[in-house]
C-alpha cells in the first residue's frame, strides 16, 4: 500500500473513532470546530510522513515541529470530552485549561514558523543551534504575551474590564430591584464612580463624562451571558499578538526569498503562504471576537469564521500531500539531495502553481533559469 493511502486510511480510522466517541458520550461541539481539528490531525500525519521520507536531514525538524503543532488539536478534542467533568471539579477550571491550551497551541505555531525562517536564513548552522535560537526568540515573546496567565491562572477574571463590569453589575442589580425596572447608564453613573486603571492597579477615579462613557460601554454586557466576551478578551488578545508575531516572521521569510532567491525545497513557499493566511485569519477571528458584544454573536462568529480556516487547512493538506508525493519520487529525491550537496548549481523547483503564474503574468522568454542549470557568477 502506498504511503499516502496508508495516511488516508489511518486518518479515516481516527475520524470514525472520534466521531463514535462524540456520539456515544453525547458531546456538544460545533461541526466547524470539529472539522478543523480533524483536518489538523490529517496534516499532522502528513507532516510525520514528510519527516520520515525527507531526503535531507536538515528538513526533518521542520516537519517534526509542524507535526507537533497540529497534533495539539487532539488535546482540543479531548478537552471537549472532559469539559463537563472539569466544571464539576471547579467552575473556573474549564476556562483555565482552555486558556493554557491556547497558550501552548500558538506557542507551537510560532516555534514552527520561527524555526523554518531561522533555517532559511542560516542554512549551514547546526540543528541544535537553530533550536536554541528559535527557543530564545519564541520563548521571549511567549513570556511577554502570556506572562499574566502564567502568574495568575484566573487573570481573565482580574482584568480592568471585568472589575468595572462587576461594579456596574452590582449597582445595576440594586437599582433595578429598588425601582422594579431596568436601571439606565445615567442612573448607574449617578451612584457609581469607576476607577481609572494603570497596569491593573487603581490610580484614581474617572471624571464624570468618562465615567458615563465607560458605563455605557459595559452596559450591553449586562444582558444574559454577554459578559463571557469580556472574560475571553485577554486570551483573544494573546492570540492576536502571537499571530502578528508569526506573520512578521513569514513576511521576513518571503522578503529573504525575494531578495536572495535561494533554491529551496519544493512547495515550502506554498506551505508558508498558506500558514500566513491561517495566521491572518486567526487574527481576524480573534479581533472580531474581542469587539463582539453579544455572546450568541460571539459563538456564531466563531463557527462561521472557522469555515474559512477549514478551507485554508484543506489547501495546506493538499500542498503537504504534493510535497510528500514529490520527495518519494525519483526526480524529487534527486532534486532535494542536490539542494544539500550543491545548491549553487541549481535553480528553484517550479511546480504547476509557479508555471501557472509565470505563463499567466510574465513573459516567459525573458525569464532566465532552468532546473539544474549552472548559475552565473555575478
CB atoms within 10 A of CB 65: 23
| CA gap 119, 280 in Å, rounded | 23
Q: Identify the sign of the CA torsion 335, 126, 260, 115.
A: positive
Are the C-beta atoms of residues 347 and 373 closer than 8 Å to each other? Answer: yes
Mean pLDDT, contiguous 10-residue spans, the chain (378 residues): 85 92 81 90 95 85 95 90 86 91 96 93 88 96 95 92 93 86 89 88 89 92 88 94 96 84 75 94 89 75 81 94 86 67 55 58 53 43
pLDDT at 378: 44
pLDDT in tens, 199-220: 888 888 999 999 999 999 999 9
pLDDT at 87: 83
pTM of the model: 0.86
Q: 3-151+235-336: what fold?
A: Rhopdopsin 7-helix transmembrane proteins (1.20.1070)
CB atoms within 10 A of CB 162: 19
The DSSP code sequence of 168-217 is HHHHHHHHHHHHTSPPPHHHHHHH--PEEEETTEEEEE--HHHHHHHHHH
CB atoms within 10 A of CB 4: 15
pLDDT at 225: 84
Domain boundaries, the chain: 3-151+235-336, 160-222
pLDDT at 120: 86
pLDDT in tens, 6-58: 999 999 999 999 988 888 878 777 788 889 999 999 999 999 999 998 887 88
pLDDT at 371: 39
pLDDT at 352: 58
Could you give the 3-state DSSP secondary structure of residue 92?
coil
Amino acid at each position: 500500500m502506498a504511503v499516502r493511502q496508508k495516511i488516508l486510511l489511518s486518518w479515516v480510522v481516527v475520524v470514525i473513532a472520534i466521531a463514535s466517541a462524540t456520539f456515544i458520550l453525547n458531546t456538544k461541539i460545533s461541526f466547524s470546530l470539529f472539522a478543523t481539528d480533524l483536518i489538523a490531525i490529517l496534516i499532522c500525519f502528513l507532516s510525520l510522513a514528510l519527516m520520515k521520507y525527507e531526503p535531507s536531514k536538515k528538513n526533518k525538524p521542520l516537519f517534526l515541529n509542524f507535526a507537533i503543532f497540529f497534533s495539539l488539536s487532539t488535546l482540543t478534542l479531548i478537552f471537549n470530552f472532559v469539559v463537563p467533568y472539569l466544571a464539576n471539579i471547579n467552575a473556573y477550571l474549564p476556562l483555565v485549561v482552555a486558556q493554557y491550551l491556547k497558550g501552548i497551541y500558538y506557542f507551537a505555531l510560532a516555534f514552527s514558523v520561527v524555526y523554518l525562517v531561522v533555517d532559511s536564513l542560516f542554512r549551514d548552522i547546526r540543528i541544535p543551534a537553530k533550536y536554541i535560537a528559535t527557543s530564545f526568540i519564541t520563548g521571549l515573546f511567549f513570556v511577554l504575551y502570556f506572562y499574566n496567565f502564567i502568574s495568575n491562572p484566573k487573570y481573565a477574571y482580574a482584568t480592568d474590564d471585568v472589575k468595572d463590569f462587576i461594579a456596574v453589575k452590582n449597582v445595576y442589580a440594586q437599582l433595578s430591584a429598588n425601582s422594579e425596572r431596568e436601571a439606565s447608564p445615567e442612573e448607574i453613573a449617578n451612584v457609581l464612580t469607576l476607577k481609572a486603571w494603570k497596569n491593573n492597579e487603581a490610580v484614581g477615579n474617572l471624571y464624570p463624562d468618562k465615567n458615563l462613557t465607560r458605563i455605557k460601554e459595559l452596559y450591553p454586557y449586562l444582558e444574559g451571558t454577554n459578559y463571557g466576551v469580556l472574560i475571553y478578551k485577554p486570551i483573544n488578545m494573546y492570540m492576536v499578538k502571537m499571530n502578528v508575531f508569526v506573520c512578521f516572521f513569514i513576511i521576513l521569510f518571503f522578503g529573504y526569498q525575494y531578495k536572495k532567491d535561494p533554491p529551496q525545497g519544493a512547495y515550502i513557499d506554498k506551505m508558508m503562504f498558506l500558514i500566513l493566511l491561517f495566521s491572518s485569519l486567526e487574527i481576524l477571528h480573534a479581533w472580531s471576537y474581542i469587539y463582539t458584544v453579544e455572546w450568541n454573536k460571539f459563538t456564531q462568529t466563531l463557527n462561521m469564521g472557522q469555515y474559512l480556516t477549514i478551507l485554508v487547512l484543506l489547501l495546506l493538506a493538499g500542498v503537504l500531500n504534493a510535497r510528500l508525493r514529490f520527495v518519494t519520487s525519483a526526480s524529487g529525491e534527486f532534486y532535494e539531495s542536490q539542494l544539500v550537496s550543491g545548491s549553487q548549481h541549481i535553480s528553484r523547483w517550479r511546480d504547476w502553481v509557479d508555471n501557472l503564474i509565470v505563463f499567466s503574468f510574465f513573459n516567459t522568454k525573458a525569464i532566465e533559469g532552468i532546473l539544474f542549470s549552472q548559475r552565473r557568477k555575478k
